[in-house]
Structures are given as structure tokens and as C-alpha cells.
Chain A
Amino acid sequence: MSVACRRRRFLRLAALGSAAALVGGAPRARAASSVVDVCIDGDTNVSDWWTGSVKPRFEAANPGWQVNVVRTRGGTGNLAIAERALAALKVKADPQVDYLEEFNPANLPGSADAGLWTRMDASAVPAYARTNPLGRDNPFVLPYRGSQVVLAYDSEKVAPAEVPRTWDALTAWIKAHPGQFIYGRPDRGGSGRNFVVRAIHEANGRDPNLFRPDNFSKAEAEKRLPPAWAILRDLQPSLYDKGAYPAGNNPTLQLLANGTVSMISAWSDQALQAIRLGALPDTVKLAPLTDLLFAGGFTFSSIPSNAAHHEAALKLAEFVLSPEIQASVVNDMGGFPGLDWKNMPADLQAKFADVVAASLPTFPSNDWQTAMYDGWYGQVATGVDRAK
């Protein structure tokens, strides 16, 4: 066979092959039927912990089942996944998600009434009876871990007595130490977001109950948010590099780690983990505000009632509330458990006695959050011309 002939035959095959690929489509992205799809909206510390700790242990305990960890952060987030599940419910299709690691059904108004969510109780998930009652926000959530935002500071530069304990003391400290404090952009991570939320709470009589998933309106937002922008704009000139907001939880921690700033807002679990791993020097200490805590709270898992692997999702829910995983939440993630503290091992109870929060303020993650991001970018970040 001549070379030209072979070439022609190759070309013909190639044309056929590419046409076949187009008609046949790519292999179905959805995996086999024994896979539980878990959507995670949290930062890398959460998804890494799931991939490295929860997934292998669950798979070892439940042979034949696999956990597919899907990161939705940086994409459209778990709200979009929940919206998709609701749409799937209406047309009786597969929602392509079995377990939302972090989603409060209250943030998708109407979805609970439509019957999208599995009611959490001891009959669905036996361990539910041992969860912290404070975390039972509504009947559709499984409080399986918790975290809070705190101040993280370098104790070599900030004397413990000097550490602010109230919002007023904090703003005074920031202004007295220009360039030494920074928080991250609110849309890139909870450490920055909950700092902004704290300013919103401060501007509204420190009453977190004014912001609920069901009471958003444009008028309400236009009344409640601008005073917080004034507070944050006023702080901006005193922040690190006159307001060079890092793009995430980790970049903010890095500025503290390399000594550029001496105080930041940080997730308690992420900071504790970083200190343990040596990513943050052990001179870094954490402190909550005492007049009103930074927002944070329980992480609510939820399970769509139309999940294709509903049984397995319930099994996973029971598993994450097992003593083994709950101890790992505390020891490996630096979070606090979803189980009531009295159901935790005595040594852990003693060790974390002072972070056992009575209740944590929260902020809804639906339209309120969207309005907060838009307001912050439009009214705070642009406050200074930084183009040059």
C-alpha cells in the first residue's frame, strides 16, 4: 500500500471517528449507581478533610459504596445545586446530588414546602437524637460540625492584654495600628465575609435576628446595609496597604503567617489546623469578640428527598455523626462537633471547654448575601482609587 493511500485511509478513519464521537457523545459524566454524590461548598480544608478522612472511612465501613466529593466552591455554589435539585423534583428527574455537605434549605425559600428535603429525625438518622439542640435550626438540617470566625493575632506583636474584645475596641486598635489588620474579600471566604457581617450587625444594633432567610427585600437591604459600608469605608485607610484585601481565607492567613500584618479575621477551625500543621507560627493566638461573636455557626448538611441514592445518603449522615468522625472534626479540622458536647469523649470536652459556644450569630446566605457582596464591592472596595 502506498503512503498516500495509507494517509487517505487514515484521514477517512479520522473523519469517521470524530463523527462517531460527536454522535455518541462523551461518556456519561455520572458515575456508577453505587456512588454517593456529595457537594461541598467549603474551602479546601473542608474538601480535603472529606477526601482524606471521611471518604476512605465511609468506603471502608460500607463496602461497595463510593463517595464522590464534588467541589462547588468557585463554581456556582450549593445554592445553585439546590435550585437544580428543585427543578429536577418538578420534572421528576435525577437531581444528580445525594448529599449537600453545607446547605440550609431555608436559604432556598419554598423548597421545603415543595417537599425537596428529607426531614431529619431519629427515625431517618438515629444519631440525630444526640446532636446539639442549638444546631437544630429547622427540621431539614443535620448540624454535623461547627466553626466560628475569630480574631487571629501574633502574640509576639500584640500583647494579650491589648487584644480587642469588643467591636469598638477592635476598630480603635485598627486605627491605632495602621496597616496591621486585614480581612479578606467577603465573596472569597467566610473569614472576610463574617467580618463584613459583623460590621452589618454592629450597624444594626447588634441584632442578628434582623437578617433572616425569609425577610429579604430590596428596601430592607437599602436601609440596613449602607451604615455598615460607612463603618468599613472608615476603616479602609487604616487597613493593610490601605485596603489591599486578599482574595480568600488562605491568602489572608498567609499575610499573618509571614508577619506582614499582626491581626486578621479567620475561621477558628482553619487557623487551628494551620497552627497544628506549622503553616502559622505557634505564636498565633485566637480570640473571639465578647460583645457579639463574629458570625459562624453550625454547618448544616441536607439531603434532597429525590436523591437517587437516598438510602446511602442517610447512611452517610449517620456515619458523619459517628464518634469517630465527630472526634475527627475536633482533632483534624479544629471545628466543633455537631453532637452535643455531653455526647463527646470527656477529654475533648475538657480541652475545648472555652470554645463551647452557647449560640452563634448567623447571616443568611441567599439574597442578603448577594446584596452584601454587591454593596461591599460597590461601596467599600472602590472607596479609594487603586488603579494607579
Chain B
Amino acid sequence: MSPPADREEGSRALGLALVTTAFLLMALLIFLPAVLAILRTLQVEDAGGVARWSLANYAAFFADPVSRADLLFTLWVTLASIGLLFLTGGPIALFLRFLPGPLGAWVQTLALFPLFVPGIIIAYALIRFLGPNGLLATLLRLVGIVGYATPYLHAWGVIIGLVWEGLPLTVLVLTAGLAQVPDPALEAARDVGAGPLRVLTAIVLPQVGRSLVISFALGFLNIFSSFTVPYLLGPAAPQMMSVFMQRTFTEARAPERADTQAVVTFAVCVLVGLLYSRSVARERRAA
């Protein structure tokens, strides 16, 4: 047996060896290309073919109504989807926290089910279900409701698909947050006569604030950069940034423009990422 100090040294070296591969892969395959891409967007070649530092690519992005519309559209779809995710996932998480039992297990299974279904399957299933003359339209017609306007190829088609996809993650994060609310606090509040609404606003909500922030941030990052669902269900214009980027890169064959779009998307996500890491860091410090 080696002395404790040696052992500690050994485990540190071992630990470093374990993370080296992952770190090198990240650095070589993700950070380096990303930094190069960012630098590329900050350079333009003048008439003589000499590269100069310039913000011209970004000026062009924000001057172009199509890219502005696509950026706003992406923000709008993302915020609307998250709003709906809270409206649907919140009650489910509350239900799972306060009304456990056999029914709760079923609800949980159903809420987590989308986690195991690939996005492309969801997209095609929704086309058949929500599309024109799809199952929903047919059912509505059976009960006498006509004039169904399909969300397929509209913003709402994308939002419905993304909410379906994002529900499990929202429910998981919120359930984890709610699990941290101690039962004694709830019982004490009830003992002094607080009704369910009062318990929710005065005891539960203040303690799940961080989970809400984390859920918002994770949902935002997922949805803002989602591709499959908006690619298959979304309108031709405006498009979400990921679809717009893919089109710019492969169809317009303008990699520098696609780079610029990617950096703008990245910048938005970094802001939300900061919110997330600040919230997690505060939690660590508190723990």
C-alpha cells in the first residue's frame, strides 16, 4: 500500500488521463472549428483579396429582412413553446409530487414517453395526425366541426411538435425541483390554515424558482437549435435559424453567411447558457 499522499497524486493523474481524451476531442472537434468560424465571420476580403477585420458580415445579416425575420421567428417559436411547456409540464409535475400512486405512475410514464420517440417519427406522425384531411380533421368532421385550419407548415405545427418533444425534460426537471420542497413545510402551512393555492404561491413556488430557471434554460437551448421538427413541419418563410442555416450552407452555397447565422444563434444561446450556469453555480455554493 502506498502512502496516502502518493495515492492522491495517483488518482489525480488517473483522473486527468480519463478526461484528457474527452477534453482533446472537445477542443479539436468543437472549440477549434468554432473559434475559426467566428474569426472567419469577422474577416472580409477586399478587392485585392486581402482579408481585413470587419463587421460587414453581421451588418449584412441584420440588414437582410429575411434573416431578421428568421431570427425573430426562432425567438418567438422558442418562447411560445417554453410557455406552453410550463403550462403543460407544470401541472403534471405538481400532480406527480402531490398525488403519487398508481395513477401517478401512469401519468409519469405517459409524460416521459416522448423521450423514447425520435423527433423524425414525431414529425411524420404529426403530419398524418394534424395535417389537412388528417385524423384530427376527420374526427372533428365526424362531430360536425368543419373549417379546421391545419397547423402543418405553419408556426403552430412547429410549436406543437417541439412541445411534444420537450415535455419529458420539463417534467423531469420540475419534478426534481418539487421533490426538494420539504413535506414538513407544506404540513406546517396547512396546519395554520393555508389553502392549496396559498401553499402553491407561498411555499412551493419560492422554492422551485431555480428549477424553473434551469428548465427554461435547457428548454430554450434545445428548442432554439432544434432542426428536425421545424424542417419537416415549419413554413417556407420565415424559418427557424437551424433550417435557415442548413439552406444557406447547402442550397445557397454561402458558408460564410451560414457561419454568421451560426454565430448569431450561438450568441443568443450563450446568454441563456450564462443564466443556466449562474443558476447552477449558485446552487452549488448554497449546497
Residues on A close to B: CB < 8 A?
8, 11-12, 14-16, 18-19, 21-22, 74-77, 79, 185, 187, 241, 243-247, 251, 254-255, 258-260, 370, 373-374, 377-378, 381-382, 386-388
Give the number of A-B contacts (CB < 8 Å).
93
CB-defined contacts of A251 to chain B, threshold 8 Å: 127
The 5 A-B pairs at the shortest CB distance, nearest first, are namely A381-B237, A244-B153, A15-B17, A18-B21, A260-B132
CB-defined contacts of B234 to chain A, threshold 8 Å: 247
Say whether B236 contacts A245, CB under 8 Å.
yes
Distance in angstroms between the alpha carbons of A375 and B253 in the assembled complex = 14
From residue 81 to 96 of chain B, which have CB atoms closer than 8 A to chain A? none
CB-defined contacts of A8 to chain B, threshold 8 Å: 14
Q: Digitize B214-256: 1 where CB-to-A-CB distance is under 8 Å, 0 elsewhere.
A: 0000000000000000011011111000000001011111000
Q: Give the distance to chain B from A256, nearest Cβ to Cβ, in Å.
A: 11
Say whether A382 contacts B232, CB under 8 Å.
no
CB-defined contacts of A260 to chain B, threshold 8 Å: 131-133
Instruction: Write the chain A residue with the least CB distance to B248.
Output: A374
CB-defined contacts of A373 to chain B, threshold 8 Å: 247, 251-252
Say whether B250 contacts A75, CB under 8 Å.
yes
B interface residues, tally (CB under 8 Å): 37
Choose among B69, B155, B250 the residue that contacts A382 (Cβ–Cβ < 8 A). Answer: B69
| Given A245-B236, A387-B69, 16 additional A-B pairs, CB 8 A | A12-B17, A15-B21, A16-B17, A74-B250, A79-B253, A241-B153, A246-B153, A247-B153, A247-B232, A247-B234, A251-B127, A258-B131, A258-B133, A381-B237, A387-B73, A387-B155
Secondary structure of the A contact surface, majority rule = helix
Say whether A386 contacts B238, CB under 8 Å.
yes
Say whether A374 contacts B252, CB under 8 Å.
yes
CB-defined contacts of A18 to chain B, threshold 8 Å: 18, 21-22
Choose among A187, A243, A255 the residue that contacts B251 (Cβ–Cβ < 8 A). Answer: A187
Q: List 13 A-B contacts (CB under 8 A).
A: A15-B17, A75-B250, A76-B249, A244-B152, A247-B231, A258-B131, A258-B132, A258-B133, A260-B131, A373-B252, A382-B69, A382-B238, A386-B237
From residue 67 to 81 of chain B, which have CB atoms closer than 8 A to chain A? 69, 72-73, 76
Q: Give the distance to chain A from B200, nearest Cβ to Cβ, in Å.
A: 33
B150 proximal to A (CB < 8 A): yes
